[in-house]
Each structure stands twice: as structure tokens, then as C-alpha cells.
Amino acid sequence: MTGTQNCLICEKVVKSFGKNTVLKGVDLTIEPGKIYGLIGRNGIGKTTLLSIMTGQNTCDSGSVTYGGMRVWENEKATSQICFSRELSPTILFGQNTMRVKEYFRMASCYYPAWDAAYAKQLTKEFGLDLKKKVCKMNKGMMSMVTITLALASRAPVTILDEPVAGLDVYMRDRFYDLLLKDYEETGRTFILSTHIIEEAANLLEETIILNDGVITLKENTQELIDSCRYISGLAETVERAASGFQQIHEESLGRSKTVCVRLRPGQQLDLSAYGNELTVSPVPLQKIFVYLTKRQGEAV
């Protein structure tokens, strides 16, 4: 697969709401056959970006293409991209009386690869009442409806925005299992936007961080985690050992200090010369995200 074939590409995407510019020239390429995690702080523009990437919203400037085709007002492109998000009366097109079965029927007409048998299987597993009005469901049941639609759409690019909102621990774990199984069977592309980062970390092949209106990071998730380490010990020893490395966080307690360093490509963290004076430990993905998006003056 070469060039832009089956790639979802944002180029210089800008979006403002009044005087507030939310997206400030986003460049992003989503390659096929991967599970991506899009993470960012509240109100940073993740849902706005995803709605533009899926042709549900316009941008002020820039472009979004899928397989070389412009996404905006192009059903050939948008029918290949499923955007599953928290339901609301607006998303239901003002049809507050819409029942679950009608919502799925509408989806089946739009997505050419819709898998009715799989939708039925998931409906049974999640205990969904097809006759129930979607707007009368609680948050957890609504999430199960959107998950069912996303998975059963079989869309080559499937985007889930906060898919586990309202789900208990068991159902969140079940969702991750279902998504991974689907990915292994179909190889389609998934993008997850979530605040429950650590739970999803093992699923994500690549992590994308949206911060201050631009993409500030897009890396292989495991390589990102491997590049960050905590160094702990006496303050003066830690400072000496950490010099020469990018330091993205530090905290002190008495004479002790912990620094989080991020290795640049090609750098090695060899602290064997310090013997037992230092402790080196891994950094969870969620903490890496916190450190990389911390604003000046904020405490962590």
C-alpha cells in the first residue's frame, strides 16, 4: 500500500468558534490497519477535529481527504468512515422518538459493509432493548448503542469518541476485548479518543496528542513508553544523572528527588556507574500525557 491509498489525511486544518481558534493548522495522517489513541485535555478540540475528519463539520481552512478524495460532502468517502460519539438530540437529528432499532436501521442504510448479524450478536450481549427510545437510555446504555453501531458498521476507518463513558469496569474490559478481536479479524483502522488512557494503553499502536490546537506528538505507543523513565534518589545524584536528557517532570521530597526523563532517538539510559544510588522505573502512558501537556505554572 503506497501513497495516500486508504489514508485519512488532515492538512493545515483550522477551526474557530467566534474569536476562539480551537484548531490552529492540524497536520495528521492516519494510516490504515492501526489502532490509534487520540488524547488531549478537556476542551482542547478533539471532538471538533474528529467531526471535521469525518465530514460532519467544516473547517475554516485546510483540507481532509480519505484515499485522495475530499471528505466534505462526499458520501463515497464518508460512508467508509464511522464516527461513533456520545448520543444527543442533535446527533439524533432532532428525532427524540428514535428507537434503537431505527437508529441501527439508519446506520445499515449508510454503511455499505454493515454487518446485521454482528449487530444482533452485540445487541444480545449488551442486553439492548431494540424498542427502547435512545433518548430515554442512561449514559452506559447509550455507550453500548454507539459501540454496537461502530463495530457493526465494519467501516474501514472507525472512530470512537469516549466510547466507554458510563460503562462499569466489566463492560469496559469487554469492549476492549471486542475491539481487539475485531481488529485482529478485519485489520481495519480504529481511532479511540478517551480520557481513560491507562486502560486503553495496551490496545494503542500509536498515540496522538492534540495540544494547544496542533498535533504535538504522534508516536508508536510502546516506543513512547520505553523512551520515558523515572530516575529517583538523592537530589544531587539524580540531577547529575539526569543532565543531558530531556526532563519533562520533577518532584522533590526532603533530600530525595524524582525526575522523569524522555530519551531522544538513539539515546541510551545507562546509569550503571551509579550502582544502587539510583532507582530507575517505567512511566505510565497517562503520566507521560500529563507531563507533556502541563501548562506553565500548573502543579502535577
Q: Which amino acid is present at 174? A: R
CA 293 to chain centre: 15
Q: What is the mean pLDDT of residues 221-242?
A: 97
- Give the per-residue pLDDT at 1: 38
- Give the per-residue pLDDT at 88: 58
What one-character-per-residue DSSP string does 228-292 give?
Answer: EEEEEEEHHHHHHHHTTSEEEEEEEETTEEEEEEEPPTT-----GGGGGGEEEEE--HHHHHHHH
pLDDT of 143-196, one tens digit each?
999 999 999 999 999 999 999 988 999 999 999 999 999 999 999 999 999 989
- Give the per-residue pLDDT at 91: 52
Q: How far is the C-alpha of 269 from the C-alpha of 245, rounded, in Å? A: 9
pLDDT of 16-30, one tens digit each?
999 999 999 999 999
pLDDT of 57-104, one tens digit each?
999 999 999 999 999 999 999 999 999 987 754 455 455 678 999 999
- Give the per-residue pLDDT at 61: 97
